[in-house]
Every structure is written in structure tokens, then in C-alpha cells.
Amino acid sequence: MFDSIDVRRKTILFRYVAEEFVLSFAVVFLFFFFIFFINQILLMAEEILSKNVAYGDVLRLIIYAVPNIISYSFPFSALVGGLMAVGRLVGDNEVLAMQSAGIPLKTIALPIFSLGLIFGGMAYFSNDVLLPAGTMKFNTLYREILYSNPALELESYSIKRYRDRVIATGKVQAGSIEDIVIFDRDEKKNQRTINASRAVLDKNYGSAGVISLRLHDVVSIVSDQKRRGYYEYSSAETMEYNILLKDISLAVHSLTPREKSVRAIIAEIDEKKGQLKERELHNQQQILNLETDIAGAYLEKFLSGGTEVTNRINGKLEQLKTARERDIRDRSLQMHRLEFHKKIALPAACVVFLLFAFPAGILARKGGKSIGFGIGLFVCMLYWGLLFAGQTLGIRSNLSPWIAIWAGNLVILIAGISLLIVRSRR
């Protein structure tokens, strides 16, 4: 009988602490969700609305982009929500009352860490399943909108690449573009640069699957690939220039590593590692061939001499130096590795943050929820800075993706363990 009463008391305690944490988590989640929503979604929606896109389509685009916001909101909400919940319980002396009744801290912490695991699983599901699915839906809908409203791609002061062409635009207003530069290839595959003072979007755009631009005050420069240093200049008052919508939709449809699932990232990493290995082997074979050629050239010089052989040796030595110093890296492979660790580190942060939040909330005896909210925001900024710096260094250098992404989790984990040690000694 006493066992059943004890179980019922623990159940009541579990629910009480869990409800306190869930309430704080929900408030903070809405706070972070709103911040990320304003930062990413409303700016995008404003840009699309200015191009007269239907409100229903804008709403669907926003919904498809929500998983990207959720994946970041979960860990930060767990941290700040945990600090606020524990801070409230400590500030109202409820933790002290529980301990006086013989309830250990680990029993009080159990519902918080249990929910942290659940929130981590939800963050992983959002990042690994909902985000790729939402991005594909987003791209599909965006492509459909683009076919009915090609002006959506014409942005002020932007540079965009569409397969074999690059377009730089000045100010865009009411279907007119001031100062446009186009880099493409002509029918003979020669590089061409087209400069126009103004471009006007054809009223009948999209009818034939193209964006049709009427260019004014046009200057065209074509470089002949067969005759180096030879250029052909031409000018015209007006010129019709067409962009195939399928070229734009192909550029829009590609997924970044951030938008892929863990399984897709792993497959991509394996493929790119194989390609990188082939490049390394090819470079090693090139070095071996050069060394063989140089040895043969030295033998030829010893037997016959001659300035021509000396010049050939010097050229081969320069090529050998270049091959030995060649830094063979795949930036795309590094980005996929970083995103692989990031997709695991962010959900794991839900639990790591709580390992810091619980002892920090216990030790911060005054201030309740307000002090917990302040500490939480500071730690969130610290973690975000470490994550951003690590990802930037990981892309620009050969820094281990594990160190680059997990550094923030390790710092918070060490801080949490240190606070637990301090609390245990009191």
C-alpha cells in the first residue's frame, strides 16, 4: 500500500514539474518562433507580395518554410524554458520544500530531462523529415508561381545564375530594370557580355515558357574562343533577350545540404569522398609521372646536354612543385559533413542545454523566471555565436566538422557539469 502511495506521489510531482516546464517552454517557443518568423518568413513574404502573388500561395510558402524555423526554436526554447521553470520553483521556495520532504533533486529533474529527450526527438524529426519535405514543396510551388509570374525572379541590385548565364540587375520597378548586365554564350559558344541601360519586361512574358526582355542602349562584347585576345563589339538601340523559365526552375529546385535528410547527406558524403579519392590518386599518379620524366630528362642531359633539355627539366620541376603543393579539397564535401553533424548537434542541444539549465536555475536563488530568461538569452547568444563561427571556419578551413559544430554543445555541457559539481558540494 505504501508503495502505491509513493508511486502516486511521484506521479503527481512528475506532472507538476512537467507542466511548469511545458508552460515555460511554450511561451519561450512562441518568442523564438516569432523572432525567426519575422527574420526569415515575413521578409520573404513581403518580397513576394510586392510581385502580386496570390495571398493563398504566399500562405502556403510560409507554411512550407516553417520546419526551418522549428529546428532552431526547439533547443533554444528548451534552454530558456528550463531556466525559467526551475527559476520559478526555486524563487517560490518549492524546490526547498520538496527537498525538506525528502525528495532528491534527481527526482525533481527527471520530468525536465524526460521532456528534453522528447523535444530533442521532435527537433530531429523536424530537421530530418519535415524540413526536406517542406523545402521540396516550397520549390515546387515557387516554380509554379514563377511560370505564371516570371517577374518574381527580377530583384533590384541582385546577381543571379541560371545554368550558362549570369544576370546582374540594377533597380527594378514596375517591370523595368535600370542598368542590366548579362554574361552568357552566343550560338558559337563564345563568351558574351551584354550591357544595357534599361530593360523592360515583355507584357506577354511566360506565354511561350520564357521571360522576354526588351533591352535599350545595348552594347555587346564577344570574345572569340578560337582566337585569343580577339573581341567583337556591337551596339544597338534595342534588343530582344529571352530567358527560358525551365533554366530558372532548375536553379530554384536544387536542395542545399541544410535541406537534405541525414540519409541523403550520408549518401552524398560517400559519393563525394569517392570522387575526392580519385582526384588524390590522379594527383599522386601525376607526381609519379613527372618524377619519372624528370629522371629521364636528367639522364638525357648527362648524355647529350643542351639548353632545350635544361628548359624542359625546369618546366617539369615547376609542374612537380605545383602538383606537390596542390591542396586537394572538396568544399561541397566539407559542407555536407558540417550539416550532418549540425542535424544531430541541434536536437542533442535540447538535452545538453537542460544539463546546464537545471543546476543554473537551482543556484540562481533570486529573480525567478526573469533571471532565468536573462541567463537563457545570454547562453543562446553564446551558443549561436560558437555555432556560426564553427561553421564559417569549417567551410573556409580544414577544421574538423566535429569540432566546428559540437564546440558549442561541449562548452555548455562543461559549464553544466561544473555547476552540478558546485551544487553537489553545497
Query: What are the backbone dihedrals phi and psi of residue 403, each rounded to the nearest 5 degrees, phi first?
Result: -70, -45
CA contacts within 13 A on the Cβ side of 274: 5
User: Residue 43: its pLDDT value, please?
Assistant: 64
CA 291 vs CA 286, 287, 316, 354, 369: distances in Å: 9, 6, 8, 59, 70
Nearest of 224, 240, 246, 221 to residue 163 by alpha carbon: 246
- 222: amino acid identity, one letter: V
Between 40 and 358, the more confident residue is 358
pLDDT band at 345 (very low <50, low <70, confident <90, very high): very high
Express each pLDDT in 201-254 by its tens digit. Answer: 765 544 456 677 888 899 888 887 777 767 888 888 888 887 776 555 444 556
User: Residue 409: its pLDDT value, please?
Assistant: 92
Express each pLDDT in 382-425 by its tens digit. Answer: 998 999 898 888 888 878 889 999 999 999 999 988 888 887 66
Cβ distance 372 to 311 under 8 Å? no
Mean pLDDT of the chain, nearest integer: 81
Between 338 and 426, the more confident residue is 338
User: Residue 412: its pLDDT value, please?
Assistant: 92
Three-state secondary-structure class, residue 426? coil
Express each pLDDT in 72-114 by its tens digit. Answer: 888 899 988 888 888 888 888 888 888 888 888 888 888 999 9
User: Does the pLDDT of residue 1 top 50, yes or no?
Assistant: no
User: Residue 2: its pLDDT value, please?
Assistant: 42
Task: Say what the alpha-carbon torsion angle 144, 148, 149, 152 is, to the nearest 10 degrees.
Answer: 10
- pTM (2 decimals)? 0.73
User: Does the pLDDT of residue 272 top 70, yes or no?
Assistant: yes
Q: Where are the domains of the chain?
A: 2-147+333-424, 159-253, 275-328
User: Does the pLDDT of residue 269 top 80, yes or no?
Assistant: yes
Name the H helices within 305-400.
307-325, 331-363, 368-396
Express each pLDDT in 125-178 by its tens digit. Answer: 988 888 888 888 887 777 777 666 656 666 777 777 776 788 888 887 766 788
Name the H helices within 239-261.
245-253
Query: What are the residues whose beta carbons fall under 8 Å from the beta carbon of 369, sequence distance 6 or more?
Result: 24, 84, 87, 88, 91
Using only C-alpha atoms, what is the Rg of the chain?
30
